[in-house]
Amino acid sequence: MAIKEQLVKIKENWLIAVLVLVLFLFVAGGSNLSRSFGSFTPQAMMGKVSMDYGESLRGGGYYPNVEADFAPEVEERKILKTTSMSTEVKRGTFQTSETKLKNIVSSSDSFILSENSNNQGSKRKSYYSGSYQIKVEQGKYKAVVSQLKEIGEVRSFNENARDVTGSYTNTQIELQTEKERLKRYQVMYDEAKEINDKLNLNDRIFNQERRIKYLEDSLKNTDKRIEYSTIHFSMTEKRSEYANLALVKISELIRGFVSSINALLQLVFVIIPWAIAFLIISWIVKLIKRKN
């Protein structure tokens, strides 16, 4: 068939061609178009911009954290160590494992600051668990951690070491400065002649002494935290293998049956528009053939 004849046929059947195109767009592309246009709403675009900005911050190497405790000129470093560990012990051995834990603490001259052990669940679902906060001398820290790892099977282990040399040194410098200021206040107090001046200086001396006490306590507290590391230890008894074994309930069977029916109905209503479109297109094709 020549090109001119095909163009004539198209002109004669242009209404049918438009109908087929509209039907196809309605059935196949309606939902996709709505989703496409929906993604270009102002809210969606702003969300995308904020997400891209966040990704650029994370991936572009932007790290605003400041190393305030970094003091490279100090040779003797001040390190705070904190460890979190959880283990699982065999069923029926929780009390024995707890005794072993306390023996480790006692033999290393460590301290248990807090402990909490209890029995959870009932019958075959019951199991023991406990959590303990332990203070260990810095020199015995590694040995104690190594012994604690032998209690049951280690499920998680996290060790955190923080260098506080910079802040510790700055506190020492500040303490020395505040002491020098206190000495000047005391000299001024001794030399003052007026009662009001003495009262004013007395208040300043009191506040200065309180400030010095605060800084001294801060240094002592840091010294203790450096001298003794903290271990957060948790221990859980292994649960019974039959704890969660149970027959399926009738309600669960009915719920599954209804879910399957719903899925089938959704599938049927998805197929029906396509079937109708196929029948209409087949009818249009047959109609075109009859005209030819």
Residue 75 lies in a domain: no
Task: Please tell me the predicted confidence (pLDDT) of residue 245.
Answer: 53
Residue 166 lies in a domain: yes
Asked whether residue 268 carries a pLDDT value surpassing 50, the answer given is yes
Q: How confident is the model at residue 15 (pLDDT cuts 50, 70, 90)?
A: low
| Domain total of the chain | 1
Residue 10 lies in a domain: no
Task: Please tell me the predicted confidence (pLDDT) of residue 46.
Answer: 38
Mean pLDDT of the chain: 75
Q: How confident is the model at residue 281 (pLDDT cuts 50, 70, 90)?
A: confident
Q: Which two tokens stand for residue 122?
A: 């009932």
Q: How many CA atoms lie within 13 A of 45 on its CB side?
A: 5
β-sheet with 153-163: strand ranges across? 111-120, 127-137, 228-237, 79-89, 153-163
Residue ranges of E strands in the chain: 79-89, 111-120, 127-137, 153-163, 228-237
Distances in whole angstroms, Cα of residue 160 to Cα of each of 64, 79, 111, 229: 21, 10, 20, 10
Task: Please tell me the predicted confidence (pLDDT) of residue 279.
Answer: 82
Q: Is 241 helix (H, G, I), strand (E, B) or coil?
A: coil
Q: How confident is the model at residue 130 (pLDDT cuts 50, 70, 90)?
A: very high
Residue 92 lies in a domain: yes
Residue 87 lies in a domain: yes
pLDDT in tens, 88-116: 999 889 999 999 999 999 999 888 989 89
Q: Is 62 helix (H, G, I), strand (E, B) or coil?
A: coil
pLDDT in tens, 217-265: 888 887 777 677 889 999 998 876 655 555 667 888 888 888 888 888 8
Residue 269 lies in a domain: no
Looking at the chain, how many residues does it have?
A: 292
Residue 174 lies in a domain: yes
pLDDT in tens, 26-71: 555 444 434 443 444 444 443 443 444 344 334 443 333 445 555 5
Enclosing domain of residue 116: 80-240
Residue 261 lies in a domain: no
